[in-house]
Structures are given as C-alpha cells and as structure tokens.
Amino acid sequence: MNTLYLAKRVVIAFLSLFIVSSLVFGMTMALPGSAAEIILGTQQTEESVQQVREEMGLNRPLHVRYLDFVVGTFTLDWGQSLVSDQPVVDLIAPRLARTLQLALFAMLLSIVIAIPLGVIAAADRDTIVDTLITSVSYVGVSIPSFVSASLLLLFLTTPPLDLFPTGGFVPFSEGFVPWLRHLILPAVSLNVIIFAYVLRQTRSSMIETLESDYIRTARLKGLTERSVLAKHALRNGLLPTVTVLAINFGWMMGSVVIVEEIFSYPGMGRLIVQAISERDLPVIQAGILVPTAAFIFANLLADIVYTYLDPRIQLGEQ
Amino acid sequence: MSRQDFDRRSSQGDRLLSVDGLNVEFAVPGGTIRALRDVSISVETGETLGIAGESGSGKSTLALAIVRYLDSNARVPSGEIRFKGRDLLGMSRRELQSLRGNEIAHVAQNASRALNPSLTIGEQIKETVELHQDVSGNAAAMERVYEVLHQVNIPDPEGMVDRYPNELSGGQQQRALIAVGLSCNPELLILDEPTTGLDVTTQAKLLDLIEELKAEYDVGIVLITHNLGVIAQIADRVNILYAGEMMEKGTVREVFEEPANPYTQALLATTPELDKNKELRAIPGQIPELGSIPDGCIFADRCAFATEECRSGDIDVETVSPTHQTRCRRWETAVADPIETGTATRRSSTPGDVILSIENLVKHYDEGAFLRNLLGDHQPVRAVRDVSLTIREGETVGLVGESGCGKSTLGRTLLRLHDPTTGRITFRGTDLASMSKAQRREFRSECQIIFQDPEASLNPRKTVNEIVPRPLRLFTDLDEPAREERVEELLDQVNLSLDLKTKFPHELSGGQQQRVAIARAFAANPSLVVLDEPVSSLDVSVQASILNLLSELREEYNTSYLLISHDMGVIESVCDRLAIMYLGKIVERGTLEDVFEPPYHPYTRSLLSSIPSLDPDDDTDRIRLEGDVPSARTPPSGCSFHTRCPQKIGEVCEAEEPPLEAVDGTGGDGEAAHCVSCHLDREEMSRPLDDI
Ligand SMILES: Nc1ncnc2c1ncn2[C@@H]1O[C@H](COP(=O)(O)OP(=O)(O)O)[C@@H](O)[C@H]1O
Ligand code: SF4
Ligand code: SF4
Ligand SMILES: [Mg+2]
C-alpha cells in the first residue's frame, strides 16, 4: 500500500548521498592550495607534489575525477590511504563496525529506558513520579558528553568503584561480558543527552495522544488503563519519537569523535582524528561520507518504521 | 451472569437512566465555569430522547457526565445519576469499566477523530466484543464484528474490517463508530452529534439506522444534536438546553407544535425550512460565558419576551402539561403570542449583464502523476467535468451537491485560484487566460471568496484592523485616513463593534470571524463573491444572522454571489438560481421554483427528500440513496448517477450520457431555462414519490 511512498523515500536517500558526495568533492577542490600540497604540508618540493598528484590521479581532467569520486562513493571505492597504502574501505570497515556497535548500543539504552520512562511520566502526568523523571531529564540535556564521559571515567574506573575498564575495545568473539564492560561507559556518556531528548519527546507526544478523542473512545469502551496505553496510545504516541531517534542517531555519529577519543575506543572517530593529523585526504573524505550516509539511512529507516506504524502516510493524498 | 440477571430484576420499575438536579463545574484559572445547572433528564428503554441547544449549552458535558468521563478539572457539587437504579456517581473504577462499552455506549461527536487512526475498523470493534462478551475464540468474535457492521449497513463488511479509518468516508466512519457502540448490545446508547458534518443524504440514512436500532434492540437512546429537524424526525421526547440549563422538555409533538419557551421558539425561527419561504430570525447576542451566572433568567439578554421581572430570583420549571415543562416565567405569553416566523418576500431582482461566464470548464487534479505513471496505471481526479455557467450582475447562484462533487473546485477554479485544465472563463467579456497584468489585478479586486472555516482564512497574527483593509491597500489608492474611515464603515455594516478592531482572530467567536472575513471581502467593492459553505461551521442561530447580513450587503453593493452549500435550506433563503452538481457535472439548473418543484432530476429529488422536516408529523416517503459518491478518478459511464439512481431506466443510463437540456422541450438552454440532464421524460420526472 505504501510501496510508492517508500520507493520515493529510497530514491531521495540515494539522491541525498549523491549530493553529499558532490559536496565533499567540491570542498576538496575548494581547499586553498592543491590537495597534494595540503597532504605534503611543509615538506613539499616540486617533485614530491608532482608524485602525489600522480599517485592520487589529480592530473586527470576535473570531470573524470568527479565522476570517479561519485561512482566510488556508491561502490565503496574510496581509493588508497596515503599513509598506510591500504584501501580506505579496509581501514573504515572494522572501525565503522565498532562505532556502530557503540552507537546502536547507546540507542538501545535510550529505547529501553528513556521511552518507558517517558510513557510513565505521561501516564502519571503532574504527579511526583512525573516531576522526578522530567527534572532528571532536564539535568541530562545540559550535560555535554565530554563532561559526562570524564565524570564516568573518574568515578567508575578508579578505586574504590573500579567497575569498568578505562577504555579500549574487546570484540564480541572474545566474550560477551568483556565486550559489554568496554561498551557501557562510552555508550552511557553518548547517551546522556539523547536520552533526555527521547524521554521528553516521548512524554509530550504521549500526553497529546492521551488527550485525543480516540483515547476517550477506548476508555469509554471499558478498557483498563493498561490496555488503553498498550493498544491505543503507544503506537500513535511513539511516532514522533521515531523521528527524534533517527535525528539523534546522526547527531551521535558526530559526537562519537569526542567520546571515542576519551575512552580510547578504536572506532571511526579516532580514525578521522588520526587521518586529519596525518593529512590522509582519502580517509578524511570517507570519514565525512560514511557518517553522513549513516545519518541518511537512519532517516530512511525511521521513515520505514513510521509508515509501518502510521497507515495514513500515502503519497499525493491528503 | 447471575449478577446481571439480579440487577435486571431488581431494577424493574426503575428508569433506565435518570439524571436529577445535576450540577457540573469546571475549575479554570481565575474561577469556575458552571457548565450544567440543575439538569434533570430521564430515558426509558425503547425511547429516543433528543437533546438540543446551541454549541456551548452543555450537551456534550451532560453526555460525558453520564459515562463519568468529565475532564480532570470537573466537579459535580450536587445531583444524582442513576442507571437502572444504580448510583453512577458512586461507582468504583472497576464497576465503571464493566459498565462502559457494555451496558452504556457513548458514541462521541466527530467520528474521524474518535476512531484510532492506526487500528483497523475490525480490531476496534472486536476489542469491545472480546472485552465484554462471552465469545470463545477469534472466529466467534469476528462473527459478531461482521454482524454489527452489517447492522449499521456498512457496505462489504468483510473488506471493511481490514481498513483503517482514514480509508472510509465520513458517513462510513460514523457508522463504524456506532458499530463499536452497538457491538455489546448496550442498554443505553448515547449519540453525540452523530450527523453533524455529514451530507443530508448520509444523514438521512443514519437517522433511518437509529430508528431501526431502536426498534430492533431493547435500547434507550440519548440523541444530542443542534439540528432541530433531526430531533423532530426521530426523537420521542426532547430537552432543550441553553447555557447549562434545561429550558424546555416534553414530547416532540408538544414542544415543536406549541413551544412554551422563548428560547425554543427562537431556535425554531432561526432554522431554515425548505419550501416555506421562511424569513430567518437570528437570535440576537450570543450564549453567555458561564464564569458568573447572572441573577434571574439566563436567557434574558437575548429573549424577545423578557421584562424586568425576568432579571431577578430563580426561574423555576413550570408545568405546561403533565408531559411538558418549561423554565420561563412568561411562558403563557410566549404560547399565546409566539415569535412569528414571517414569510420572506422573495426578491424579484432583474439581473443585469452577464459578469462571469464559464464555458466547458474541466479541472483535473493530477498529484504525483509522474511516479504513479511509472508504477502503474494512473487516473487523475476529475473534479470538474465540462461545466458551463453564467452569473449576472446582482444575481445569486447557488451550487449544491454532496461533498466530493466538485463544488469547491469549481468555485476556486473560476476565480483562478486553480488553473483550469481546459475550458474558458470570461469576466465582463474578457477571457481570463488572455488578461493583461492590469486586467488581472482588476479581476482579483472585483472577485472575492469567503471560505467555510473563517479562522483558517484569517491571518492569526494580524488584528482585525490590519486584516480588513488589506484589499484596500492592494487594490485601491486610498490614503491612510480614508482607509480607516472605510474600515469603520465596513465593520459597522457587518455589525461588528469597533472595540473588536484590535482583536486577533482567535479572540473572536466563529460568527465574528466570519463577519471579519466578509468585511474584508467587501472592502474593495467586489462585483462577485464566491461563498464556499460560508455558514456550515456555524451554529444555526449565528447562521441566520450571517445569511441575513449577506442578503443586506448584496442589496447595498449590487454584488453577485456564487453560494456553495450542501444545505438546501441555506440555498433557498438566499439564492435566485440554482445548479445541482454531481460528480463534477451540473445535472440540473434553473430558478429556485424550477428546481424545488417537479419535474426533478432524480438526484435533486433525493437531496430534497433527505432533508429532515421540523414538523414531527411529516412522514412523507423519503428516497435513500445507496452508497457514497463514487470516486472522481473513475466516474461511472453514461449518466454518472446511474449507480445510485432510484429511477434508473436501464442500459441506456449506463451507455449514454444524457445532455443538459431544457425540460420544457423548447430545446432552449439559455441560462434562465430549467435544464435537466436525464433520460427520463418530463412526466416521469414529475411523478409523485410513492410511485417510484
Ligand atoms: N474541561 C473544561 N474546562 C472548562 N470548561 C469546559 C470544559 N469542558 C466544557 N467546558 C465548558 O462547558 C460548557 C458546555 O460545553 P459543551 O458540553 O461542550 O457544550 P455543547 O456540547 O452543547 O456544545 C462550555 O461553556 C464549555 O466551554
Ligand atoms: S423567563 Fe423571561 S427572559 Fe427568561 S425565557 Fe422567560 S420571558 Fe424570556
Ligand atoms: S439518466 Fe438514468 S440513471 Fe441518470 S438520472 Fe436519469 S434515470 Fe437516473
Ligand atoms: Mg458538543
């Protein structure tokens, strides 16, 4: 029924990716000095610049390079790292996987804790429970992630509460508990802010839903308050939360840099920081493209979930 | 089970529902609103109690009080509500849950909002069945779901259960909501404004349904509406509420034949009635705020019979007959010398030159066409299909039809708010398509439009003083003092006090907002105003005053109107000529007399016969149209009305499209001629109803 709408959204997602890759390409072009000079920094000589230009194919005509870059974006061919000579995609893939583990775990925390708290606050609106939950979330919004990260490190990784490792990453294959122990602190500090947003969005849209006419209908059917919530209110009340989650996912991909740095977590963030300090242009480009793509596809996913939850969405009909 | 049996037995002799001396208050910042004061009603099994009154009189509050579902700021300081002898106000939450939806069903107003948008119709009905009834298993529950959908005459129940509310028409949504209410065989059914916002044809079928339900089930019905015609047609007894007080109650016959309360008389005088040539009397003023209740009669400020004695002390309920009571000190005077419903002098205007003419106008909506074409076969919405119409100077042409028939599209396209797909529109002889920029500006200042929802058409961030002179700024070169003078003149003409100049739209009532919109439309002396359902969102009492205002302005400015409405009563009180529209085409046109008297197009006849009469004894046969208006994407072949026509001849109707021609056989189809598009001959179109 909504295939048309979804098809349109997929087309838009790929179109956005195309535009972003064009922008990244354009930005590289607009850098003062040539890319080769930037890469070489202060150590440039006439020949070394020529050599790098050769290596990077910078001598080819502009449109060829543009086409090459855009096609590369979609075929995951981002060239070679200038520092390690590995294909960029090989550098990115394992780190992206780790960052995604971190981000998704942080999302999961939000979903299983923030949403239920938001629902409870809405259902018990204006009671002490609501006030408590809401004020905690206010505090949450005002703590930047580097602060929460530092505090967590300070209190939970040193005696007497030496509960977690100070940083690093252990793959899942080496055991669930070590994996989890390394993930929790960065995830929690990533989470503090989006947690508050998700909670507040959930609370306010649930309150609006609970005041709607169809909830009155449901209550006047004689349903218990629990069924009213579960069957009638959640599905409609959580719709705006889906969007907030998607937006925050993109936001998280951005702030992951800081958190990864603090917890020495070997993910995308650290890769980008390292690439910048080493002037590894292809890696930097991919480092911009990949999180943006993640953001675009998170939104696409949100739209798909949204369509599933809300049968009213249809293209071209009000 | 046995407990219910016990209840039933023990309550024998008790009323099904009785409300005694009920008071309801709402705490609001800065005071209390006393929304209901000393209200008493009673309902027996097998009867329909009608509750009528302007909006804000407390009808919904009463309905919700009965199911104990008042907003959290509500308080019931005194009064009693008994259901089968049980005290409802003292019930626990558990007891209420087993009562609601089971023994008492509340069908809320505004079905489109009262159904959950993300659950299918089937799920929403099944839920109640599973909750309250002893059904074993899914199959048995679904059985019951089909059964109730069938009872409320929803077409194709098997397909309907899987649909979501937004996929249903307004009438179907209302039926689905009633089905939810009926699914557990309630003993008391409360219907809050069940027909408001529906087409007359859909309303008529819904009223039939309510009558059937009453006959079939052992149920008592509380029917809330502001439409007195609806009450006259299907209620047994009626209670008239005003500003939270019961003004009059009695059998429908007594109250409608000899209304013993000035408010009831005023409501009746303000309601349009077909074919009575009735002069509508607006009720002056408006329903008071209930923050502070004045001493004496609450209606005194608006009452035609009020004297000094009405303004002090409590007004008691007085007995007119054992089955008829009124809350009025001067009811005997009111009965002896009731408010006259005068006869309007139908104006005999001699229309001037043609100012606007439309030839073969076609308008298709083609949204998302590109993608749709890619993905499969695609039909545009054919909103207007080949319409020709002329409007003369000083003339009012009415445009009637069910919703979805293309009336608004026609009105907007002829003002060029939409681009026509094909066809020609000429204004004072100039083709709109070939107008110069200056001419187009002139056209825009000469032709104005007024919409159904005044609030949506007024800029919420501008004051009345900024809204009204806008056309003056755009289209005239009046200077500031001259504009100000004109604004004051306009506000005076639309009866708005000058104090309102500094108000924002949301600070005004619906009627006042519509007056502002009218003042703005008339600011630059337009020669044509399109009125798109100008009074549909307003209360009857306000409706009459707006309609009267429009008539006055027309005389004053010699303006032409195109009045779009689904309400024949409204059309009759203002129009000179009339066009009936069905699925994008005009199927009949002529003068008021031509259209309201035989011969009729079968569609016109159905519309006319669907209108509930204010006379409770009027039981003329009625035509009920099957189904809804078909989709404008795929209009039926031949005569597009053939799928619903009660007089369909046969194949010819499906194969051949009847031309719109004069019924007198002269072949003339000038704009004044009475033209009908139907294969029937004149005699068949004139046959009395019972022969059809
Ligand atoms: N929750 C509330 N808080 C304050 N006033 C209310 C509330 N609900 C209804 N009212 C007031 O009670 C009066 C009756 O309203 P209502 O029952 O909706 O009338 P009706 O159904 O006849 O239009 C109005 O003045 C309305 O503003
Ligand atoms: S008591 Fe007086 S003011 Fe009130 S309705 Fe009767 S006549 Fe009118
Ligand atoms: S042409 Fe046939 S179907 Fe159409 S209105 Fe006339 S009788 Fe009915
Ligand atoms: Mg109401």
- Same domain? B444 vs B588: yes
Q: How many domains does chain B have?
A: 3
Contacts of B70 in chain A (CB under 8 A): none
ipTM of the complex: 0.79
Ion ligand 4, residue ranges at CB < 5 A: B 60
Contacts of B367 in chain A (CB under 8 A): 316-317
CA of B233 to the centre of ligand 3 (A): 29
B117–A315 C-beta distance less than 8 A: no
Question: CA B87, CA B187: separation in Å to the nearest integer?
Answer: 16
Question: CA A307, CA A216: separation in Å to the nearest integer?
Answer: 25
- φ/ψ of B49, rounded to 5, equals -100, 125
- Same domain? B295 vs B402: no
B99–A222 C-beta distance less than 8 A: yes
CATH (one of 1.10.1240.10, 3.40.109.10, 1.10.3720.10, 3.40.50.1220) for A92-278: 1.10.3720.10
> Which pLDDT score, from 0 to 100, does residue A214 have?
95
> Which pLDDT score, from 0 to 100, does residue B149 have?
92
Task: State the burial class of residue A114 (Cβ atoms within 10 Å of its Cβ: 0-12, 13-18, 19+).
Answer: buried
pLDDT digits (tens, 9 = 90+) for B209-249: 899 888 888 899 999 998 899 999 999 999 999 999 999 99
B67–A311 C-beta distance less than 8 A: no
Question: CA B401, CA B133: separation in Å to the nearest integer?
Answer: 42
B341 part of a folded domain: no
Question: CA B13, CA B189: separation in Å to the nearest integer?
Answer: 20
- Same domain? B650 vs B587: yes
Q: What is the torsion angle, in degrees rounded to the nearest 10, for the CA atoms of residue B403, residue B404, residue B408 and residue B409?
A: -170
Q: Which of B307, B336, B365 is the last residue of a domain?
A: B336
Nearest CB partner across the interface for B100, out of A220, A311, A312: A220
- Same domain? B646 vs B498: yes
Contacts of B100 in chain A (CB under 8 A): 219-222
A224–B101 C-beta distance less than 8 A: no
Residue B222 per-residue DSSP state: E
Task: Report which residue type is found at B109.
Answer: Q
- Same domain? B13 vs B136: no
B116–A4 C-beta distance less than 8 A: no
B100–A214 C-beta distance less than 8 A: no
- Same domain? B560 vs B429: yes
Task: Find out whether the beta carbon of B179 lies less than 6 Å from any atom of ligand 2.
Answer: no
- Same domain? B251 vs B165: no
- Is residue B6 scored above 60 in pLDDT? no
Output the CA–CA distances (angstroms, integers) from residue B249 to B51, B67, B322, B324, in the order listed: 9, 22, 11, 6
> Which pLDDT score, from 0 to 100, does residue B224 have?
95
Residues 151-210 of B with CB under 8 A from A: 164, 166, 177, 180
Mean pLDDT of B316-322: 94
CA atoms within 13 A on the CB side of A120: 13
- Same domain? B418 vs B455: yes
- Same domain? B166 vs B273: no
> Which pLDDT score, from 0 to 100, does residue B349 have?
65
- Same domain? B146 vs B12: no
Q: Which of B151, B185, B219 is the last residue of a domain?
A: B185
Question: CA B626, CA A195: separation in Å to the nearest integer?
Answer: 54
Asked if B50 and B59 count as a contact pair (C-beta separation under 8 A), the reply is no
Residue of A nearest to B109 (CA): A213
Mutate one of A10, A214, A310 to test the B interface: name it (highest B CB count within 10 A): A214
User: Which ligand sits closest to the CA of B310?
Assistant: 2
Question: CA A287, CA A277: separation in Å to the nearest integer?
Answer: 13
Q: Please provide the average confidence, as pLDDT, over all residues in chain A.
A: 83
User: Which ligand sits closest to the CA of B311?
Assistant: 2
Question: CA B280, CA B269: separation in Å to the nearest integer?
Answer: 6
Question: CA B322, CA B319: separation in Å to the nearest integer?
Answer: 7
Question: CA B615, CA B613: separation in Å to the nearest integer?
Answer: 5
pLDDT digits (tens, 9 = 90+) for A207-252: 999 999 999 999 999 999 999 999 999 988 988 888 888 888 877 7
Evaluate the CA torsion angle B569, B575, B578, B582 in order and state its sign.
negative
Q: Which of A31-35, A107-111, B33-37, B668-672 has the lowest mean pLDDT?
A: A31-35
Residue B7's pLDDT band (cuts 50, 70, 90): very low
Q: How far is A197 from chain B (nearest CA, A)?
A: 25
CATH of the domain at B481: 3.40.50.300
> Which pLDDT score, from 0 to 100, does residue B374 have?
60
- Most trustworthy range by pLDDT among B13-22, B82-91, B532-541: B82-91
Task: Find out whether the beta carbon of B197 lies less than 6 Å from any atom of ligand 3.
Answer: no
B131–A222 C-beta distance less than 8 A: yes
Question: CA B111, CA A213: separation in Å to the nearest integer?
Answer: 9
Based on C-alpha coordinates, what's the Rg of chain B? Answer: 27
Task: Find out whether the beta carbon of B33 lies less than 6 Å from any atom of ligand 1.
Answer: yes
Task: Find out whether the beta carbon of B687 lies less than 6 Å from any atom of ligand 3.
Answer: no
Q: State the count of interchain CB pairs (< 8 A) between A and B.
A: 84
pLDDT digits (tens, 9 = 90+) for B46-104: 999 999 998 889 999 999 999 999 988 999 999 999 999 999 999 999 999 999 999 99
**Whole domain around residue B642: which residue ranges?**
346-692
Asked if B236 and B48 count as a contact pair (C-beta separation under 8 A), the reply is yes
Contacts of A217 in chain B (CB under 8 A): 108, 114-116, 177, 180
- Same domain? B520 vs B596: yes
Residues 90-109 of B with CB under 8 A from A: 96-102, 105-106, 108
pTM of the model: 0.82
Q: Which of B153, B185, B217 is the last residue of a domain?
A: B185
Which tokens go with A11? 């087309």
Exposure string of B410-431, with b = 16+ CB inside 10 Å and e = fewer, is bbbbbbbebebbebebbbbeee
- Same domain? B117 vs B247: no
> Which pLDDT score, from 0 to 100, does residue B375 have?
58
Task: Report which residue type is found at A50.
Answer: Q
